[in-house]
Structure 1
Amino acid sequence: MEVLGLSIDSKLTWTSHLSNICRRAGQRLGALRKLANKLDAKGRANIYKTQVRSIMEYSCLAWMNASPTTLRQLDLIQKKALKIIGVDEDLALQQYAISKLGHRRTVAATTVLYKMHTSNCPVDLKALLPQAHTVGRITWRVLPSHALKVPKSKTNCLDRSFLHSAITTWNSLPPAVVGDITSTGVHAFKKRLNKYLLSI
């Protein structure tokens, strides 16, 4: 079944959908390879980000719970793209702001969780926001005041889903990174989050 460009199977494995994404991204990567000698590294990086990576990130919050093996197919395409651009992972990040795809999905998911605290969020999505974490028995781990209750899960697949993944990241953030949660503070939060996650 296909909904808004997402191929959904009965078990929500996303295998077919991500195979299709990889095929389309691979085709565009082939086109970039043919153009590579006519562009400088910056031009190649810009085309990769706008024409190839954009395909690999469309609706990523829906399928980010795919198996690590399946998601590695996307990482392989980015690895090939960096070879075409002519940089390694460190230079790609420093010079062209090309970070790892998993990192970008984490930032996207956690930023949406931030938005769920504000008025800039659809009512249906806001309704999924969990309650604040409440202190029960004394434990060795002290959670920050902004921490949320992690929904119960019985499978690794659910643990990797958007909400569970975002809450896990959210609960690990220092208060200074979360900052004051406001409807106009989303962009600033995303910048702080990105910088913090790259530093740890």
Structure 2
Amino acid sequence: MMELNTNKCEVITVTRKRNRIVHQYKLKDAILTPVEATKYLGVTITSDLKWNSHISNVCQKANNTLAFLRRNLRVNSPKLKATAYQSLVRPLVEYASTVWDPSTSKNIYKLEMIQRRAARFTLNRYHNTSSVSSMLQELGWTSLQQRQEISRLVMFYKIHNELVPFNSDAYITKCTRSTRAVHTQGYLMPQSRTQQHQCSFFPRTIKMWNTLPVNVVTAPSTEAFRLQLTKGNNS
């Protein structure tokens, strides 16, 4: 019996066609506003299904939060600064990243720059000659790209083991037999006709999943699987 607020309702058309079919949608006799981008559960979705807008919004919010910490957290404790970054900034760039994990070098760079700035802030080293790579190694921080890859693989592990409510049969197909390139728990690569689909969750993650060792994909629990992936990235 909840009343919908028509002022907060919008219409977005997802299509690759140049000449779109224009239709006027109404709700309670109110004409809904057509938009090119809208937020759904905190994720910016655009009509072309690209993640540039969302990543730009995320980077801006994360950089603003990091600047706030730099202005107000005036302590000489790297541990406290690292905790502040990991608690207040990094969750912003990792929220729902299994959906929008970037595939272009430009967007990957924009995200990694946030953590590189955080490393300088944490260790209070702002000189141009200071090596940020050495700082990240000293702090023990893996790249955001690696963390996002692990998040995607963990989500796929949950789908594979039916630990999340998802009808995987409608989207992916298990291999009927193993080959040299694909283990016994592998999946067929989905066919992609567009760049957006090729860079989406299932095609990218299945490609990585199929290359993992059998002892990793058959880990007895989610945490054991995550630990195996983390060891692999640190080795």
The normalised TM-score by structure 1 is 0.84
Question: In the alignment, what sits opposite 2:181?
Answer: 142
Amino acid at match of 1:130: I
Alpha-carbon distance, 1:197 to partner: 3.0
Q: In the alignment, which residue of structure 2 is the partner of 1:131?
A: 173
Q: Do 1:65 and 1:157's aligned partners in 2 also have CA atoms closer than 8 Å?
A: no
Q: List alignment gaps of at least 5 residues for structure 2.
A: 1-37, 126-131
Structure 1 counterpart of 2:149 = 106
Assess if the C-alpha contact under 8 Å between 2:181 and 2:210 holds in 1.
no
1:4-15 paired onto structure 2 within 5 Å: 4-15=41-52
2:191 alignment partner in structure 1:
152
Return the alpha-carbon distance in structure 2 between the equivalents of residues 158 and 93 of structure 1: 34
- Per-residue deviation, residues 114-170 of structure 1 (Å, max 9, x unmatched): 11122321134x34562222459xx8x432212111101133432221111211111
Deviations 1:156-188 (A, max 9, x none): 4322211112111111111122234x5xx1111
The question of 1:3 aligning with 2:47 is answered no
Query: Aligned pair in 2 of structure 1 residues 157, 94: CA closer, same or farther (>3 Å)?
Result: farther
More helix by share: 1
CA contact 1:132–1:147 (8 Å) conserved in 2: yes
Q: CA deviation at 1:16?
A: 1.6
**When you count strand as a share of all residues, which structure comes out higher?**
2
Q: Is the 8 A contact 2:174 2:185 kept in 1?
A: yes
Q: CA deviation at 1:67?
A: 3.1
Identity %: 28
Q: What are structure 1's unaligned runs of at least 5 residues? A: none
Q: Would you say the 8 A contact 2:198–2:204 is kept in 1?
A: yes
Query: Counterpart in 1 of 2:164?
Result: 121
- Cα-Cα RMSD: 2.4
Say how many residue pairs are matched: 191
CA distance in 2, matches of 1:178, 1:67: 27
| In 1, Cα distance between equivalents of 2:115 and 2:80 | 16
The one-letter amino acid of 2:193's match is K
Q: Which moved more, 1:71-80 or 1:105-114?
A: 71-80
Structure 2 distance, partners of 1:128, 1:36, is 49
Q: 1:119 to 1:133 in 2, by over 3 A?
A: closer
- Please give the alpha-carbon distance, in whole angstroms, between the structure 2 residues aligned to 1:178 and 1:135: 16
Runs ≥4 in structure 1, deviation > 4 angstroms?
none
Taking CA–CA contacts closer than 8 Å with sequence separation of 6 or more, which of the two structures ends up with the larger relative contact order? 1
CA deviation map 1:25-45 (0-9, x unaligned) = 111110121245414111111
Structure 1 residue 89, shift from structure 2 partner: 3.8
Range with greater deviation from structure 2 (4-13 or 115-124): 115-124
| 1:169 equivalent in alignment to 2:208 | yes
SS, match of residue 191 in structure 2: coil
- Aligned counterpart in structure 2 of residue 179 of structure 1, from 215, 218, 234: 218
Corresponding residue for residue 193 of structure 1: 229
Q: Aligned letter for 1:2? A: K
- Could you say what secondary structure the match of 1:38 adopts? coil
Counterpart of 1:84 in structure 2 is: 121
Which of these two proteins has the greater Rg computed from alpha carbons?
2
Distance 1:82 1:128 in 2: 43
The equivalent residue for 1:59 is 96
